[in-house]
Each structure stands twice: as structure tokens, then as C-alpha cells.
A and B are shown apart, each in its own frame.
Chain A
């Protein structure tokens, strides 16, 4: 079952400059774990010490915020896209 994870520019530096990575998994947590296996530096960027997602990084399954579903346990299916959207503040 393949799921596409899309990374924003700011995080591509931690994933060999790739913008999308195809993973497997039954839920968001599984998919992220597989992402961290191949790109271990992303773990620290996305996860807090308590194993939860950092509060300035949102993870969407298609267009839904995983936090509004079941968080890391949100089920995913073939063809879904996981989008990682960190807060950005630039404007000047």
C-alpha cells in the first residue's frame, strides 16, 4: 500500500532534498515511522520528546488535519497523501 508524504521546502534538507517520499503503513504514525527510518534527521524536526507531533508542525491526510481525526492513529489508505505543514512566519 503506497502513501505519498510531501515535505515542505524547509524540511527537504533533512531528506536528501526530496519533496515526496513514498511509504507504507496503516496509519499516520506507521507512515511517519517509515519516513524516519529512511530519513532519521526528520524525527527530531517533527516529533517532540514525548513522542507527539510538535505543536508548530501540522500533518494533513489529504485535506484533513490529523489532529482533528485520530492524530498519529488516523488510518490511511492507498492513494492518500500525507502533507507536512510547518508554521512559517516570513512576510517582509
Chain B
């Protein structure tokens, strides 16, 4: 493809870049002729795509399949109130086009999968990982290594963030840092554990900085290092990350040569053994019939304060192993949480210990949705 030159309007727009010798017209032209794929248009993807577009990255791809929800707006600043209920891609594209009409926005309305990741990544120079689950994070890592694309990685949890560049030729990949994902349910997701709204703004912006540095070839990429951000302490720490000589994908003798089944790798396919489930409608019927059972809520106390199903007993999942004695072994236990994930783990644990426990599918959110709308969803 022929190199695109900067137009007069672009020269005016990018003045603050052009006057820095580290960028200059040559660097700005590099940005114009480069491309970045943002995986996810959420908390991290929002500031990332906004800053990449503002900076003049010529082609910005975004892959997402979600719809803007009101609860996204606390942090996903690319979307706005009128966009609630519309596609995240349409909302993001509209905003980015308005911000900078000189850049091209490519939307991919799909879930990133083992089948489409490699072909998609091949079309971009840099990949920026802003996903929200371990299965997709390992997929992004592997597809980056397989296509030789650098990954500007960021992830967040409550008040903490991680930042790194993975997949550079002599640098480590995400598997070198964490060879295996945690079992499902052990690490709560942001929708279960919460996240400070500004936090993805900090981490996503730093991902944008790394992406720009990679394209411009300036400075020292954050490869071989992991930065940890603690918003409460307002501190950064930099840790060393070595390329693992036994890494299954980025070492000399890789055993992974194509994307694998990430749901299986992350244990998402093993239906927890013997975790029987009932629906919220079943639960309502049991309550109406005044059946004898204990309704156990395994969420955290602050969640219990926000919303509860009347008559439930609270024992947070983390405290369950040591508070088993409080539960009657002869009783029928019906267990719920916010969305059904933590309670499934609680049911597995309880059944292992000989309790008669059943999970409530969809948790208290489903209860609010289908049974009692006066119970707030959060």
C-alpha cells in the first residue's frame, strides 16, 4: 500500500506532535500509516481508542459484541447516555469519527474466537488487549505470539491495574508471566467485585502510550517488565518479567502452534460436578409453598445491604469453609449470589462436604429481573 501523506488539515491538527523532534512529520506519517486493534470497547478500550484516534493512528479496529448498558457509563467514557441500548461499536465509531474524521474506524461486531483471532490480528500492527476474562486474554496472547504482533496489555481489578507489553521478539508473553489461569470463580470479575471508574482511564491511557511508542519506535517499550498500579496508595511498582525458556508458545520449542480451546483451558467447560440448579421461578414457587429450606446468600456483606431476598442467610463465599458448622447438614440448602457464579462454587463445596445444596441460576439479578423488580440490580 502506498504511504499516505499528511494533508494540510492534519498538519494543523497534529501541530503539538509535529513540533517534537521525537515525533515530527515523519513520526506523524508513521502514525497515519499504522493500525491498532482494540480488543473490547469497554473500560480500557474507551480511553485507548479515544487517544489513539486523537493522536492520528490511521486505522483503528475495534472488536466487541456488546450493547451499551447504563452501568457501563461510570467508566466507559467513549459511550454516552443517549447510546444506552445501542451497539458499543456504533456508539464508539460515532464518537471517534466526531473526534477525528481523518482516521478510519473499522468495527468488528463479533466475539474474538480461536477461529477468527489470527486472521484479524494479521490486519493490524499493534493489538491492545482490553478484554475482561482469562479465556480471551490467553487467546489474545497466543494469537499475538502466533502472528508476531505486539500486545499492549492492561488489566484492572477494583483499585489495581497491571500494564505490560507482551509478544515482542525477545520479550516475554503473558504465559511467561502467568502460565495458567485461575480456576473459574476463584477470582471475581469486575461485574462481581467492582472497579473504580477512573482506574481503566489510567491503565487504558497507558496502553495507548505503549501502542504509540511501538508504532513510532521511540523510547523503551514496557517489555520484560510488569507495572502495577495501586490507586489507593497512588503508587506504581515495576517488576521484572523474564521470557520463560519453557513457555508453551513463545519459547524456542513451542507446543502450541495454533489457537487452542480457551474455554476448556480456563476450566469453563467442566460443568462443576453435581451442582444442581433451579431457576428463580422455581425458588419463588418453593417460597410460596412455604417449603422447608435454607436460602443461603454467599455474596459480600456490602452487596447484601444493596439488595437481598427476604429470609436469606448471609455467609460470604470466602468465609464458607470455616463457617460450615453454622449450617444444618440435614437441611436443604438453596444457594444464590449476584449472578450464579459464586453460588455454583459454594454448591460444589457444600456438596463435597455432604450438604444437600442447590444453586439458583442467575442469582439475585435474575430474581430482580423476573420475580421482584423492587429488588435493585447492581
Residues of chain A at the chain B interface (Cβ within 8 Å): 8-10, 13-14, 41, 44-45, 54-56, 58, 60, 63-65, 68, 83, 85-92
Residues of chain B at the chain A interface (Cβ within 8 Å): 40, 42-45, 66, 72, 76, 129-134, 137, 154-160, 162, 177-182, 186-190, 193, 195, 200, 226, 228, 232, 237-242, 318, 321-322
Which chain A residues lie closer than 8 Å to B186 at the CB level?
A: 45
Asked if A92 and B237 sit within 8 Å, CB to CB, the answer is no
Which chain A residues lie closer than 8 Å to B193 at the CB level?
A: 10, 90
Asked if B178 and A87 sit within 8 Å, CB to CB, the answer is yes
Q: List 17 A-B contacts (CB under 8 A).
A: A9-B160, A54-B182, A64-B239, A65-B239, A68-B242, A86-B182, A88-B156, A89-B132, A90-B189, A90-B195, A91-B43, A91-B155, A91-B156, A91-B200, A92-B40, A92-B43, A92-B72
What is the bound-complex CA distance between A92 and B67, given in angstroms? 12
Contact of A83 among B66, B131, B239 (CB under 8 A): B239
What is the bound-complex CA distance between A54 and B178, given in angstroms? 10
- Among all A-B residue pairs, the 8 with the closest Cβ atoms: A92-B42, A90-B190, A88-B157, A55-B180, A92-B132, A56-B182, A87-B178, A90-B156
Please give me the residue from chain B that is nearest to A81 by CB atom.
B237
What is the bound-complex CA distance between A25 and B178, given in angstroms? 26
What is the bound-complex CA distance between A61 and B157, given in angstroms? 22
Which chain B residues lie closer than 8 Å to A9 at the CB level?
A: 157-160, 232
Asked if B322 and A41 sit within 8 Å, CB to CB, the answer is yes
What is the bound-complex CA distance between A45 and B42, given in angstroms? 29
Contact of B129 among A10, A64, A85, A91 (CB under 8 A): A91
Contact of A8 among B43, B160, B189, B321 (CB under 8 A): B160
Asked if A88 and B240 sit within 8 Å, CB to CB, the answer is no
Known: A10-B157, A41-B318. 17 other contacts (CB 8 A): A10-B158, A55-B178, A56-B178, A56-B180, A58-B178, A65-B242, A83-B237, A88-B157, A89-B131, A89-B132, A89-B134, A89-B157, A91-B40, A91-B44, A91-B131, A91-B200, A92-B131
Asked if B133 and A89 sit within 8 Å, CB to CB, the answer is yes
Closest Cβ of chain A: how far from B97's Cβ, in Å?
A: 22
What is the bound-complex CA distance between A83 and B235, given in angstroms? 14
Closest Cβ of chain A: how far from B185's Cβ, in Å?
A: 13
